[in-house]
Amino acid sequence: MLVACVALPLVGAALTWWLRRGEVGVGAAALALIAAAVLPLGRGDGWWHEVDLAWAPAIRLDFALSVDGVSWPLVVLTALLGLLCCVHNARSGGSPTLTALLLAVQGASTAVFLADNLVLFFIAFEAVLLPMWAVVHRYGIDETRRHAAAKFALFTIAGSLLMATGLFVAAADAGTADLGAIIAGGGVSEGVSLLVFALLALGFAVKAPLWPLHSWLPDAHTAAPTVGSVLLAGVLLKLGTYGLIRVAGGIAPDGAADAAPVLAVLAAAGIVVASLVCLGQGELKRLIAYSSVGHMGFVVLAFATGTEAGVRAALFANLAHGLITPLLFFLAGAVKERTRTGRLAELGGLRVAAPALAGLLGFASLASLGLPGLAGFWGEAFTVYAAAERGGAWFALAAVAAVGAFLTAAYLLRMLKHVSHGAPTAAVAGIGGLSVGEAAVWAPLVAATLALGLAPGPVLDLFATGVL
């Protein structure tokens, strides 16, 4: 089943490209989602299931996959977003090659989440780069897409090679490249722990993204097609935070504790700077992109506090962001497609012209600003809790996080004021309303946001059982 989660999207990608039929991709994605959903059945303690096949022992590479309470929600999220993107692409008449590339990204990302061997983790991490680059470069919608794609590729490879160095130092120190074994053994020895964590954190900070290594994100999101932005926000960013929490935090816990203040300060700075930039932002997708930087700042801050509540809050905020921001990007894509512009100055009065669409946009915005009752609240509020729990100087960071939440509300409300309220502008007047297909694609995200907000308990308990 684990192998199926990884293989189905990749096989689907190849078949879709070869047969030139988007529906094949949709079918493969659906099967992958089912495979991911049944993973909790028959699970053991610790790792739920494991697969371990030797591949190249000389470089410590084994094809080792495993899943537990921390990675399973992300695997399901990846499969779900992949399916939604393939359906969206097929419905809107996009190219089958784009579907194939999306499935390739999905397959590689799933391999990252499931990898139990450090070298396999690195290879899967790198494998995401080329398909995503192709999505932005070839199917992007802006003149800046080439530049944005190149920036994305260069940033990513720099980060992943630094991360690889850290992984290999750890493997050399621990004598094995088995992730679970190293975590169970308490991590690498103290002398190298800080070096390993620094290298890994640098690599993951590029992906997460952590300010100031985030410059690739706004350009990439603005230039990418809707499905590209959805996968970027919902999956790729999760690779960074998952790596930070599980891999970096797991194999170098001493280094993590030492470097935590630096991470926390940068995360808090990212929250504030990103929110302030959003306050003056004039383009819809760029605004949502910067909001991702802010949200991921919450995740990293919560992780950096090092408390149990902090880690759970970080994982929960991670998951919530993976549901809410893709929904925002879908909506922004729908608006841009209908009005042919993303500039806030040219939009207005959406709730008169397309009430259902505006209503969903309002729902997604409220979720993004952390309204309780919706998924975003628990992560943000308990980041504040975790920082307060550390006490001392960390309380200042808690206050910064709370102010950041306020600033998030400010810029999202400004966005709604420009887009949704007021009189319909020329671009908005007469646009079509929500179609059934679109509603069907977005409904799972809406439902999941609501469910996670009202009943966070089961997911939090899953995180508690994770191997960390």
Residues 82-111 that bind another protein (CB under 8 A): 108
Q: Mask: binding to another protein, 136-155, rule CB under 8 A, as x and -?
A: -xx-----------xx-xx-
Query: Among residues 92, 165, 176, 465, which is the contact residue for another protein, using CB under 8 A?
Result: 165
Interacting span for another protein (CB under 8 A) from 39-47, 238-246, 403-411, 429-437: 403-411
Considering only residues 13 to 42 of the shown chain, the ones binding another protein according to CB under 8 A are none
Q: Which is nearer to another protein, 30 or 434 (CB)?
A: 434
Residue 106 burial by Cβ neighbours in a 10 Å radius (0-12, 13-18, 19+): buried
Query: Among residues 372, 430, 433, 437, which is the contact residue for another protein, using CB under 8 A?
Result: 372
Q: Which is nearer to another protein, 186 or 373 (CB)?
A: 373
Considering only residues 38 to 57 of the shown chain, the ones binding another protein according to CB under 8 A are 55-57
Residue 223 burial by Cβ neighbours in a 10 Å radius (0-12, 13-18, 19+): buried
Cβ distance 298 to 279 under 8 Å?
A: no
CB of 335 to another protein, least distance (A): 17
Q: Mask: binding to another protein, 308-347, rule CB under 8 A, as x and -?
A: xx--xx----------------------------------
The contacts of residue 72 (CB under 8 Å, 6+ apart) are 36, 39, 40, 48, 462
Considering only residues 271 to 290 of the shown chain, the ones binding another protein according to CB under 8 A are 272-274, 276-277, 279-280
Distance CA 376, CA 369 (A): 7
Helical packing angle, 394-419 and 253-279, nearest 10°: 30
Longest dimension (CA), the chain: 67
Interacting span for another protein (CB under 8 A) from 79-87, 252-260, 307-315, 429-437: 307-315
Per CB under 8 A, 421 contacts another protein: yes
CB of 21 to another protein, least distance (A): 19
Considering only residues 237 to 266 of the shown chain, the ones binding another protein according to CB under 8 A are none
**How many of the chain's residues bind another protein (CB under 8 A)?**
92
> What one-letter code names the amino acid at 328?
L
Residue 53 belongs to what H/E stretch?
A: strand 49-56
Interacting span for another protein (CB under 8 A) from 17-25, 123-131, 238-246, 338-346: 123-131
CB of 138 to another protein, least distance (A): 6
Query: Among residues 232, 398, 428, 441, which is the contact residue for another protein, using CB under 8 A?
Result: 398
The contacts of residue 414 (CB under 8 Å, 6+ apart) are 279
Helix (H, G, I), strand (E, B), or coil: what is residue 49? strand
Is the N-terminal amide bond of 209 cis, ω within 30° of 0?
yes
Q: Which is nearer to another protein, 49 or 137 (CB)?
A: 137
Residue 243 belongs to what H/E stretch?
A: none
CB of 462 to another protein, least distance (A): 11
Interacting span for another protein (CB under 8 A) from 18-26, 40-48, 221-229, 384-392: 384-392
Across 363-467, the runs of DSSP E, i.e. the strands, are none
Distance CA 315, CA 283 (A): 29
Query: Among residues 341, 385, 451, 468, which is the contact residue for another protein, using CB under 8 A?
Result: 385
CB of 238 to another protein, least distance (A): 19
Torsion of CA 377, 109, 92, 17, to 10 degrees: -170
CB of 123 to another protein, least distance (A): 6
Residue 214 belongs to what H/E stretch?
A: none
Interacting span for another protein (CB under 8 A) from 25-33, 225-233, 320-328, 415-423: 415-423
CB neighbours of residue 195 within 10 Å: 17
Q: Which is nearer to another protein, 34 or 195 (CB)?
A: 195
Pair of tokens at residue 130: 């080329």
Q: Which is nearer to another protein, 114 or 388 (CB)?
A: 388
Considering only residues 342 to 371 of the shown chain, the ones binding another protein according to CB under 8 A are 349, 351-352, 355, 359, 362, 366, 371
Distances (CA, A) of 420 to 91, 117, 288, 434: 26, 48, 15, 15
